[in-house]
Amino acid sequence: SKTAKLAELDKKHFLHPASNPKAVVDNGPAVIFAEGKGVTVTSTDGIEYIDGMSMLWNVNLGHGNQELAEAGNQQLSTLACTSQFKAFSNEPAILLAEKLASLAPGDLNSVFYTSGGSESNDTAIKLARFYWELKGKPAKRKFIALNNAYHGVTVAAQTATGLSAYHHFSGSNIEGVVRATAYLLDSEKGDKNAPNYESSIRATIEREGADTIAGIIIEPVQGAGGVNIPPDGYLQAVRQLCDEFNILFLADEVICGFGRTGKMFGVNNWDVVPDMMSIAKGLTSGYGQLGGVMLNDEIKQTISSFDAVVPHGFTYSGHPTACAIALKNLEIIERDQIIGNVKSMELELKKGLKYLEEKHSIVTNCRAIGLLAAFELYEDPASGKLFDPTVFPANAVVDACFERQLILRALGAHNQIIAIAPPLIINKEEINKMIQIIDEAITAFKETLN
């Protein structure tokens, strides 16, 4: 069959990202996708799956969107690619920059384009250091990053990532990243007697010295680290710390941005205005490979005072086709009130998660902000008893969902978390179908335990 032929070629020639290479060579790819429509994708074998993760939390307008395809087609056939170096520019990149400035909070009025989220975070870290050099404070070079953060896999982003598997891969880390514990709200507010104070951001700044710290990088809601929603007041407390110690607040909005959390940006949930913001993924709903770093006026103006070439930029920074797709994507998000749908589907999803928690004693810690959700599997939630590490409960349930044609993702240091992040266009019936499949998958998993 076609699928078998493709699988053989895949095994031979395709080294997959973030996958077990031996398993791929032994077993072939898990699925070969051929087409998609709305919240579903179909394999070369004709099996239709509900994409409960929007692929990698990015295909926010769903699959097969003809308007996005048309916007791409139009730009591809007019002028597919230009260089932006040496002050060359193009219309979609300019109009998108203006649009982003109008959507972003506060005075985040400028953008440096990249091709994705990792590049955005590396760019932000480099530009922050450059900013402090221009301000006459070259010693401000360190970045504080949180435990369980995921910021990508380019070298600076990998170093900022707080998941141990990524953290030391190939030993290629940058200097100057210091790690703090996430969500120590009382500590960040200044309570020195709060538990774990020593690993808080506040204590870290005091220990390292504010004059050595360029910035703090934080996902408004941690994604790959387990869909961790901060307590109310946390991001505001971090903003205050940044103001108090003259440190830049870099919000990694790569997952949260463009409606995922029920607001245009994750930080909008807490009315916080960062100094820099990394964007990617939902910017084009995955129809173009585009990211960016948004900068506030102070940083833009300071960098703009530098009268020589800044040696940083990518071939695809400001790629006209990707920018044209992003413009259409943002137009649709506003025109079709996609964020309104996210808010109402959040309620449906929460209802579904509550049902699962009530029905299955092993389900706990259900949470959702917009359409960014997760639940956890414990052998005994009441006593906090995890499953035996050899059980891999989240993998088992995710696999059981996949057999029932639903794609979800297993996360967590104990393989206990299951993430749900469907396309933002999902409807009530589709949410209920997802919950029904998860329900069946958990039941099947419980049967394997006996």
Binding site for ligand PLP (CB under 6 A): 56, 116-118, 121, 150-152, 219, 223-224, 252, 254-255, 280
- CA 351 vs CA 54, 168, 180, 427: distances in Å: 20, 40, 34, 14
The residue (of 54 and 302) whose beta carbon lies closer to ligand PLP is 54
The residue (of 330 and 396) whose beta carbon lies closer to ligand PLP is 330
The residue (of 151 and 239) whose beta carbon lies closer to ligand PLP is 151
| Torsion sign over Cα 257, 263, 266, 267 | positive
Write down the least CB distance from residue 45 to ligand PLP, Å. 28
| Torsion sign over Cα 349, 357, 55, 258 | positive
Write down the least CB distance from residue 277 to ligand PLP, Å. 11
The residue (of 362 and 398) whose beta carbon lies closer to ligand PLP is 398
- CA 74 vs CA 77, 251, 334, 380: distances in Å: 5, 33, 21, 55
The residue (of 276 and 391) whose beta carbon lies closer to ligand PLP is 276
Q: How far apart, in Å, do the first and last CA atoms of the chain sit? A: 38
Write down the least CB distance from residue 35 to ligand PLP, Å. 23
Write down the least CB distance from residue 263 to ligand PLP, Å. 16
Write down the least CB distance from residue 151 to ligand PLP, Å. 5
Find the residue with minimal CB distance to ligand PLP.
117
The residue (of 58 and 187) whose beta carbon lies closer to ligand PLP is 58
Residues with Cβ within 8 Å of 168's Cβ and at least 6 positions away in sequence, in order, are none
Task: Identify the CA nearest to 140 among candidates 154, 127, 150, 152.
Answer: 127
DSSP string, 320-353: HHHHHHHHHHHHHHHHTTHHHHHHHHHHHHHHHH
Neighbours of 211 (CB within 10 A): 12
Write down the least CB distance from residue 59 to ligand PLP, Å. 13
- 253 half-sphere exposure, CB direction, 13 A CA radius: 34
The residue (of 421 and 435) whose beta carbon lies closer to ligand PLP is 421
The residue (of 53 and 295) whose beta carbon lies closer to ligand PLP is 53
Q: Coil, strand, or helix at residue 115?
A: coil
Write down the least CB distance from residue 94 to ligand PLP, Å. 23
The residue (of 163 and 203) whose beta carbon lies closer to ligand PLP is 163
Write down the least CB distance from residue 280 to ligand PLP, Å. 5
Task: Identify the CA nearest to 335 among candidates 75, 67, 54, 106.
Answer: 67
Question: Angle, nearest 10°, between helix axes 320-335 and 66-79?
Answer: 150
DSSP string, 350-367: HHHHHHHHHH-TTEEEEE
Burial class for 171, CB neighbours closer than 10 Å (0-12, 13-18, 19+): exposed
3-class DSSP string for 227-254: CECCCCCHHHHHHHHHHHHCCEEEEECC
The residue (of 105 and 257) whose beta carbon lies closer to ligand PLP is 257
Write down the least CB distance from residue 96 to ligand PLP, Å. 17
Write down the least CB distance from residue 254 to ligand PLP, Å. 3
- How big is the CA angle at 312 (ends 286 and 248), to the nearest 5 degrees? 80
Q: What are phi and psi of 319, to 5 degrees?
A: -55, 120
The residue (of 121 and 296) whose beta carbon lies closer to ligand PLP is 121
Write down the least CB distance from residue 221 to ligand PLP, Å. 9
Q: How far is CA 242 from the centre of its chain?
A: 23
